[in-house]
Chains A and B, each alone.
Chain A
Amino acid sequence: MDSEKLIEMYRQMLLIRRFEEKAAEMYMMGKIGGFCHLYIGQEAVAVGAIAAIRKDDYVIASYREHGHALAVGTEPRRIMAELFGKATGISRGKGGSMHIFDAERNFLGGHAIVGGHIPLATGVGFAINYEGKDQVVLCFFGDGAVNTGVFHESLNLASLWKLPVIYICENNFYGMGTAVTRAMAGPEMYLKAKAYDIPGELVDGMNVLEVWEKVGKAVERARHEKIPTFLEVRTYRFRGHSMSDPALYRTKEEVNEQRKRDPIVTFKQKLIAEGILSEEKFEEMEKEIKAIVDEAVEFAEKSPEPPEEWLYEDVYA
């Protein structure tokens, strides 16, 4: 991989991290309300996977989707404005943190019914085949979603109909406060692919290059051979499930242990060790990203509230 692409991946991960740290700050100040599920710790999954697709491919995700939207290139200011519920938000303020949608970039949204969007991804794969196209779909969801019926129905359909969909489980080891081992029989979940006769693979979600490489292979299979894949990507969320979760169901030691795998820190060390980027360049990048994030907040704060009439718009075509 050329160093420009490596640097870009790093930049995206850092943007996601800083964007969400700022979103958390705004939440604490009461400027953002409702749910806010941070992706901090999991950045390498969205960034590595989305680096492996084309601009015209599709991405669909759960409510923990700020990172995926930023990785497909949605403007940070439009996402921040959405979090604030402003008229300039990417979903016109109607969706908020959990429902970012960017039609221009084929980002098919954040969805808040666990598992609810997995059949949608399946249908997008069907439409691609029906129209004779060669795009693929990346469908992101959590470990908790693997216990929903629709996950299993979707994998069966995708295998049966040979759909170009890559189902990516971001296994962060918890669904809210419930550990995977307490919720799932057979927690080596990548093995479930076998039941549907499709490739299944385990991926280290703290290593952006491994994610990029393994998703890349799955994308090739999907694009050229119409073979769906199920990937279990092991990662970890450093923050609570949502802003209101003090995360008492796990120990500080566990979190600290996981923080040693921080995908951004480890990737930075690698880039420095390989002489791809110098400390000064990192400093510059930090500054550049800080400016982007600050501008996003300023934009969101200055944007108007949606007017009352908007309540009645968008219900039908």
Chain B
Amino acid sequence: MATREITYQQAIQEALRSEMRADPTVILLGEDIAGGATTVDEDAWGGPLGTTRGFIKEFGKERVRDCPISEAGFVGAAVGAATTGLRPVVELMYNDFLGTCLDQILNQAAKLRYMFGGKAKVPMVLRTTIGAGLRKASQHSQTLYSIFAHIPGLKLIAPSTPYDMKGLLISAIRDDDPVVDFEHKLIYWKKGPVPEESYTIPLGKADIKRPGKDVTIVAISRMVDFSLEAANKLTSERIDAEVVDPRTLWPLDEATILESVKKTGKVVIVDESTPNCSMARNIAAIIADKAFDYLDAPVKCVNAPPTPVPFSPSLEDFYLPNPDKIFKTVMSQFKD
């Protein structure tokens, strides 16, 4: 089968479709995912971004279930259904709504296997969206994977390309543990080459998005694009940057990151979450621990500032990491 250009959102749709066709235990739960199918049109909406538009027609109401605004209830129901044999894919429209259902994730989904001596399993996926830049203010723009990363028992993916999205989401659905999928809203319409057939990308495997020899940039989700832009600009300074995309935030592919850092001796980590206890600082600590002797400059992080996300477009632009901030941070690594 052929490889063609599709969007990140289409990659999500393909992953969901192929797994739903292959496995009748895969079901979808979420608000407006059927689009409030009424007398007018069976799927008028398909979620605010339209991702599951058309699904109810193919898979029916039993498998594509619109939920009331009862996140604790339906996320918890997904956990329960998973323990007894279904593979629910549950959508939390924005990761900011984590607060409403955290107990079900933190104390139920993440704990059952361990607490019951390995005898329970929770093969579910929580799909959610992250990211600032759409002027959606403090309660709809956060990037919260670092909070989830603190919870043992969860696996986390943060795909940055359509190709990674499809392969990782299929792996996540087939995985026997709870996986949280962080989809960045601002790359939903980004296109990239994706094979038509189903394929998997193993969880816990990083990808080198740009090979280089002078400095390592570890970047997560949308920050990969920004880092590639910065890397391009760095060539004019005769700096050849390697961009490493962990893709899976937990389990984390330490080996690939460390190997790159050992080769370049310099590292900048780019992460849209706020700095305290962030993925960036987590990776920095691992590097300081395991590659200290190879470093010839301090480990630097580029995070969002430790503030909520402001609404005002001008303030939000200051808030976000961008290629220029990454460029400058990398350049600071090369000052004697």
- The answer to whether B271 has its CB under 8 Å from any CB of chain A is no
B328 to chain A, nearest CB (A): 16
The answer on a CB contact under 8 Å between A34 and B137 is: yes
- The answer to whether A269 has its CB under 8 Å from any CB of chain B is no
Interface string of A244-261 (1 = CB under 8 A from B): 110011110000000000
| Distance in angstroms between the alpha carbons of A145 and B38 in the assembled complex | 20
Which residue in B32, B135, B319 is a CB contact (below 8 Å) of A178? B32
Interface string of B124-139 (1 = CB under 8 A from A): 0000000000111111
Which residue in B44, B310, B319 is a CB contact (below 8 Å) of A177? B44
Chain A residues with CB under 8 Å of B35's CB are 177, 248-249
Q: A87-129: which residues lie under 8 A (CB-CB) from chain B?
A: 89, 91, 93-96, 98-99, 111-116
| Distance in angstroms between the alpha carbons of A175 and B69 in the assembled complex | 8
Which residue in B36, B40, B41, B311 is a CB contact (below 8 Å) of A34? B311
The answer on a CB contact under 8 Å between A182 and B319 is: no
- The answer to whether B252 has its CB under 8 Å from any CB of chain A is no
* Interface footprint category on B: 35 or more
Interface string of B283-318 (1 = CB under 8 A from A): 000000000000000000000011110111111001
The answer on a CB contact under 8 Å between A248 and B41 is: yes
Interface residues of chain B: helix, strand, loop or mixed (majority): loop
The answer on a CB contact under 8 Å between B36 and A249 is: yes
Chain B residues with CB under 8 Å of A35's CB are 135-137, 140
Chain B residues with CB under 8 Å of A94's CB are 137-138, 310-312, 315
With contacts A85-B314, A315-B306 taken as known, whether A149 is within 8 angstroms of B31 at the C-beta atoms is: no
With contacts A149-B72, A311-B318 taken as known, whether A178 is within 8 angstroms of B31 at the C-beta atoms is: yes
Which residue in B69, B70, B137 is a CB contact (below 8 Å) of A99? B137
| Distance in angstroms between the alpha carbons of A114 and B40 in the assembled complex | 26
Interface string of B66-94 (1 = CB under 8 A from A): 11111011000000000000000000000
The answer on a CB contact under 8 Å between B135 and A176 is: no
Give 5 CB contacts A-B under 8 Å. Answer: A93-B315, A98-B137, A116-B99, A182-B66, A183-B66
- Given contact pairs A305-B312, A311-B315, a sample of 17 additional A-B residue pairs in the complex whose CB atoms are under 8 Å apart: A33-B313, A34-B136, A35-B137, A85-B311, A94-B312, A99-B139, A112-B137, A112-B139, A113-B96, A149-B70, A175-B31, A176-B32, A244-B48, A245-B45, A249-B40, A308-B318, A311-B319
The 5 closest A-B pairs by CB, nearest first: A177-B36, A34-B135, A96-B311, A85-B312, A93-B312
